[in-house]
Amino acid sequence: MSKELLAILLPLLVQYTPTAIKDIIGLIEGNPQAAGESDADYIARLGKQIDANDASIQAQDAEIQK
């Protein structure tokens, strides 16, 4: 069973590992202390990113619903 599981998971690991590493690096670089920004600035920056992602998802959803 472990060989079958590995065969299933290996393509997923190959596909998503670079993205996961990039996301982890982004989290480290996005840390307010590492970036030299205040907590309020950091929260505002993340809020803008969340709003942009939400708007993109809403637009994609609206297109799919057509």
Which carries the bigger pLDDT value, residue 52 or residue 42? Answer: 52
**5 and 24 share a domain?**
yes
Q: Using CB atoms within 10 Å of the CB of residue 14, give its burial: 0 to 12 exposed, 13 to 18 middle, 19+ buried.
A: exposed
Q: Apex CA 53: angle with CA 9 and CA 22, to 5°?
A: 45
Helix (H) or strand (E) holding 46: helix 39-65
Q: How confident is the model at residue 51 (pLDDT cuts 50, 70, 90)?
A: very high
Q: Please report which confidence band the pLDDT of residue 35 belongs to, taking 50, 70 and 90 as the band edges.
A: low
Is 60 exceeded by the pLDDT of residue 17? yes
Number of domains the chain is built from: 2
Same domain, 41 and 57: yes
User: Residues 23, 46: one domain?
Assistant: no
Rounded to whole angstroms, the Cα distance separating 8 from 30 reads 33
Q: 41 and 65 share a domain?
A: yes
pTM, full prediction: 0.46
Encoded tokens for 2: 């472990």
The residue segments making up the domain with residue 5 are: 1-30
